[in-house]
Chain A
Amino acid sequence: MRNVLPVLTVVLALFALWYGGAVLLNKNWSYDKAQRAGVELSFSEMVKDTMTQEKPRLPPPHQVGAELWKTTGAMVQRGRAFSKRSLIYHGWITLSSTVLGFVFGTGLGILLAIGIVHNRAMDKSVMPWIIASQTIPILAIAPMIVVVLASAQVDDLIAKGVISMYLSFFPVVVGMVKGLRSPDHMQMDQMRTWNASRGQTFWKLRLPASAPYLFASLKVGIAASLIGAVVAELSLSQDGGLGARMLVGSYYGQTIQIWSALIAAATLAALMVALIGLIQTVTLKRMGMAQ
């Protein structure tokens, strides 16, 4: 709780910076308009104008907030929550490919980690490539993967999920390898004195011991997965999604739309990380591992 005040201060400072930036970036357009209309703007009039422009270079927070409300809450009230103009609809599309990719990425990551921990040849030959695979800016080839999979008659949702999967499997592999190896010598020896088989050691010692590591990497993985989904939507924009909203917004100079999609994506990321955090607390408490 003692962190509340400092965090609030930093957040307030960020908002102040945002407003300041909005005035600074939008003022040229205000002066331009005034000059063409032949009026002289006072400073306070200029500031007022920068807050209400239609296509500002940097929309101030309240404009973004209003747009967010208009495309979510207000549409729900009118009973059109899933209309194509609502961010809930686009957020849902992004969420579905994120979760799909995340589930497969996590599954693949856990399987790879199990293989790596139990097989020395696999550890030595695969692990360096897994690490190298992450120094490759894979996100950059998202459009190609999407196009190729789409032309191979693969469903669009799966094509987008593949990108998310690629981004989310890495943190899971690294975390799980660490986690499955976390039981110390004493515990492993104990298993040996009980004549436990490899499978028993795995289910009763290694897997439970890896739970804290798994949750830590799941949090990183879901955030990476969302980024993958957003970028994949840039190439499959006809289906909609938050990434598509950003792209369309950038075509038409609708900065408010871009920012509201960005904030929506950020909220989605925060919610998913918080959800995993919640599951983590509950699970670890029941396993008796809560710190």
Chain B
Amino acid sequence: MIWIVSVLVFWGAAWWVNVILTAQKPNRFNSFAVPALFGITLLLLWEGMVRGFGINPVLLPPPSAIAVTFSENLPVLWGDFVQTFVKGALSGYIIGCGAAILVAVAVDRSPFLQRGLLPVGNFVAALPIIGLAPIMVMWFGFDWQSKAAVVVAMVFFPVLVNTVQGLQASDAMQRDLMRTYAASYPQALMKLRLPAAMPFIFNGLKIATTLALIGAIVAEFFGSPIRGMGFRISTEVGRLALDMVWAEITVAAIAGSAFYGLVALLEKGVTFWHPSQRG
């Protein structure tokens, strides 16, 4: 009982602080502190409710138990991370996004193909491509190659569609300027149209970061060597060791957010000229 009450009190206090903070002028401190406080409150609520209501830790372990498991199993988690993220997701991401951008540039000279590719690409991007996972595991075996193949299939179309759209983003005036400079096709592509396409390309790349991690983990449910985040999750669920599963999810969350953040940082550097970055 004491747990529930104290957590609820903390919740109210945190909410009050946040209301005060948001009433002030936004600055660097409170734009960081407000969401952080909200996150801490969520974690405390979780801890307090699990303890207060005596929820079976097999069903929902409290954050403190997860943190303990996390720190005790660092080598295992690191091995899984390397297997799934570095070998599976990252290699597939690079191959898939690279191929998509190359194909988009290749069809760039043919408006006919572009008109055909855009609707088809948009359609395929909405399909449950993740269903290819069992097939890829059959073709490429249990190791990371099959996971990379799933990731390639998942990230290809979103990046392709965004890049094709981005290459059409420069406006007529700018293209005319290139023509008055007597710029050749490659010159116009490199100096005007690719840079102008960058916000779109990065939009695709950011969507693809999450897809890549999902693809690599889900593909492991269909067969994997005895390490990897997906393998660990499915086996530990079978043993009802949910604290380990949550530790693995923490790794996935950190890896996913860091990956996304890295691409967003890269975007900031490449598209510094775009209005959305000037804030």
Contact = CB atoms under 8 A, between A and B. Distances in A.
Are A and B co-members of a single complex? Answer: yes
Interface of A: 2-3, 5-11, 14, 25, 57-58, 120-121, 123-129, 132, 134-137, 139-141, 143-144, 147-148, 151-152, 219-220, 223, 226-227, 230-231, 234, 242-243, 246-247, 249-250, 253, 255, 258-259, 261-262, 265-266, 269-270, 273
A147 B117 CA distance: 41
Give the top 6 A-B pairs by smallest Cβ distance, nearest first.
A6-B116, A250-B134, A125-B38, A10-B116, A140-B217, A128-B35
A46 to B, nearest CB: 20
Interface of B is mostly: helix
B126 A223 contact: yes
6 contacts: A5-B112, A6-B114, A124-B31, A140-B229, A144-B233, A253-B138
B119 interface: yes
Contacts of B128: 223, 226-227, 230, 262, 265-266, 269
Contacts of B260: 135
Interface in B82-138: 112-117, 119-120, 123, 126-128, 130-132, 134-135, 137-138
A9 B112 contact: yes
A233 to B, nearest CB: 11
A262 B132 contact: yes
Interface of B: 15, 18-19, 21-23, 30-31, 34-35, 37-39, 42, 59-60, 112-117, 119-120, 123, 126-128, 130-132, 134-135, 137-139, 209-210, 213-214, 217-218, 221-223, 229-230, 233-234, 237, 240, 242, 245, 249, 252-253, 256-257, 259-260
Contacts of B114: 6
B35 A125 contact: yes
Contacts, number: 165
A143 B221 contact: yes
A22 to B, nearest CB: 12
Contacts of A57: 138-139
B130 A139 contact: yes
A50 to B, nearest CB: 15
A125 B134 contact: no
Contact of A136 (B23, B139, B229, B256): B256
Interface of A is mostly: helix
Contact of B217 (A3, A125, A137, A242): A137
B213 to A, nearest CB: 4
Contact of B242 (A127, A132, A144, A259): A144
A124 B22 contact: yes
Contacts of B116: 3, 5-11
Nearest to A230: B128
Contacts of B222: 247, 250
Nearest to A261: B131
B127 A266 contact: yes
A144 to B, nearest CB: 5
Given A139-B217, A152-B59, A231 B233 contact: no
A273 B117 CA distance: 19
A137 B256 contact: yes
Given A124-B18, A125-B37, A129-B35, A140 B218 contact: yes
B268 to A, nearest CB: 16
B233 A143 contact: yes
Contacts of B233: 140-141, 143-144
Contact of A246 (B38, B131, B257): B131
B249 A140 contact: yes
A236 B196 CA distance: 46
B120 A10 contact: yes
A259 B60 CA distance: 37
Most central of A14, A139, A230, A242 by chain B CB within 10 Å: A139
A223 B242 CA distance: 29
Given A121-B19, A132-B257, A152-B59, A140 B135 contact: no
